[in-house]
A = this chain, B = another copy of it.
């Protein structure tokens, strides 16, 4: 079966986010009232697995081993069956 995992990796609070700061500045220059912008990255991964549980556990491993840096990143995972 195929499962679609969405792994969102964001900076932990307190870490500087230069891209977010730049976007916030540009939005203010365009006249928008924004307070803060944080940029995160989403990896949409199509996984082969037997069960949803297995797919979720694989996605968790991928985040830990490759996609997120435990020193500076948080991540969230959602998995659903691919229609």
Interface of A toward B, CB cutoff 8 Å: 2, 8, 10, 20, 23-24, 26-27, 30, 32-49, 58, 61-62, 65-67
Q: Is the CB of B32 within 8 A of A38?
A: no
Stoichiometry, as copies per complex, reads 2
Give chain B nearest CB distance to A41 CB in angstroms: 6
**Interface SS of chain A: helix, strand, loop or mixed?**
strand
Q: Show 6 A/B contacts (Cβ-Cβ < 8 Å), sorted by A.
A: A2-B35, A23-B45, A30-B62, A37-B45, A39-B41, A39-B43
- Which of B30, B32, B39, B66 is in CB contact (< 8 Å) with A30? B66
Across the two chains, which residue of chain B brings its CB closest to A36? B46
A27 proximity list for chain B (CB < 8 A):
45, 62, 66
